[in-house]
Amino acid sequence: MTGLLKDIGLSHDLAVLIAKTIGVFVVGGFGLLWTLLGIWLERKWAGRFQDRIGPNRVGPFGLIQTVADTIKILLKEDIMKQGIDRWVFNLAPILSVVAVILIWAVVPFSPAWIGTDLNIGVLYLLAVGAFGTIAVIMAGWGSNNKFALLAAFRAVAQLVSYEVPMVLALLVPVLLSGSMSTQEIVRQQHIWYVFAVPLTVLIFLISSQAETGRGPFDLLEAESELVSGFHIEYSGIKFGMFYVAEFLHAFTAGVLTAILFLGGWRGPFAEDVPVLGFLYLMIKGLFVYWVLVWVRMTLPRVRIDHLLDFNWKFLVPVGLINLLVVALVWKLIPGTDQINSTADALVPTLVLLLVNVAMILVIGALLAERGRRERARIQARVAGTDLPAEALASAAD
């Protein structure tokens, strides 16, 4: 691309600038266009999980339902009530979409296709994640609404808390590949990291589900408690932007999992045919996204104190120990700094897999023991009263 522009007589700087600008439009446009299809796909899946059909009226199989919804939402009245903080209120939805689109800059679609191969790729992911949190704060504050403000508090508590286990999980592929560049992490996965560090994948999936604010962690917009949360005052396309940001963030979480743990564009002949790499990445990303939708549609919402307890008392310690153990084992296995083929990666992967299984067994045993203690505690209290055990259990929280 840059070469072509230089051939028609542009200077190097200008050619790079034009090529990058086009890249921005292509990557951002792809993300936004994909939303049109993706929302339909998610609603179809959600329908199946809940034993219904899902959208099926507009177009064949309801395919252009999202287009119809988009037109509807564009035509809706844009309500700006008195007392809002005008600039903050209007900037928040834009910022929330931008925060997600920015992630796509470091997504390696194929060996050659990547927006920018930053050598701080993983750190960049965390950095742009911060903008999403700011968007939530701005929406909650700018709305001048108590429910929106309360929801923003809860959202920030959740987003900031779950960033910790997410960082701890992100550090593991960085450790294994010896690089923070997303492209390099994909290149180093001669054997997918999911086989070496399944516990890390689990931590990453849980925390990214919480970061995207989807069920069972959808307290950001608990409609039964906070009347839809921090975006309660938004109508029309501004609400639509929050919706798109949430959807795209969830799908991006799937793609990131595919990049970091499922080998990204890796697959047969992907090195020679770039389109194949893109296809592989999309298929893997969609699979992870499907799992996330499955979880979202299956589990009930958790309470805010349980949510934070689960993070700080379970996920963070597990993430810390996991990181320490993986780092130690990785250092103890000889030859892990020179992995250039599948054969090189075989032994370290097997060792790490064994260690991971052992860790998962220990954690499972600890959890079972805790569950037993909790049940015994409730049983002991039931013995003195004539209440059913369930009533005491819910009163004990």
Partner 1 sequence: MELTVESVVFLILSAITLGGGLLVVTTRNLFHAGLYLMLSLLGVAGLFVLLAAPFLAGVQVVVYIGAIAILIILAVMLTPSVTQMPAIFNRNWALNLALAVLFFVLLVSVISPALDDLGVDNWSANFTEDSPAAVPADSIVQLGKDLVDPDQYMLPFEVASVLLMAAMIGAVLLVAPGKAGDEGGDE
Q: Which residues bind partner 1 (CB under 8 A)?
A: 13, 85, 88, 118-120, 123-124, 126-131, 133-134, 137-138, 140-141, 149, 152-153, 156, 160, 163, 180, 313-314, 317-318, 321, 366-367, 370
Contact 234, 357 (CB under 8 A): no
d(CA 75, CA 72): 5
Give me the least distance between CB of 332 and partner 1, in Å please.
18
Q: Which residues pair with 114 in a beta bridge?
A: 108
d(CA 261, CA 360): 18
Give me the least distance between CB of 87 and partner 1, in Å please.
8
Give me the least distance between CB of 20 and partner 1, in Å please.
12
Burial of 74 (0-12, 13-18, 19+ CB in 10 A): exposed
d(CA 107, CA 105): 6
Q: Which is nearer to partner 1, 20 or 48 (CB)?
A: 20
Give me the least distance between CB of 322 and partner 1, in Å please.
11
Q: Which is nearer to partner 1, 135 or 288 (CB)?
A: 135
d(CA 389, CA 376): 11
Give me the least distance between CB of 119 and partner 1, in Å please.
6
Look up residue 300 and give its DSSP letter: P
Q: Which is nearer to partner 1, 169 or 270 (CB)?
A: 169
Q: Which is nearer to partner 1, 101 or 293 (CB)?
A: 101
Give me the least distance between CB of 289 and partner 1, in Å please.
25
Q: At a CB cut-off of 8 Å and minimum separation 6, what does 266 contact? A: 186, 189, 192, 277, 280
Q: Which is nearer to partner 1, 56 or 116 (CB)?
A: 116
Q: Identify the CA nearest to 254 among candidates 298, 211, 206, 287.
A: 287
Helix axes 236-261, 121-142, angle to 10 degrees: 160
Q: Which is nearer to partner 1, 72 or 373 (CB)?
A: 373
Token representation of residue 97: 């979409």
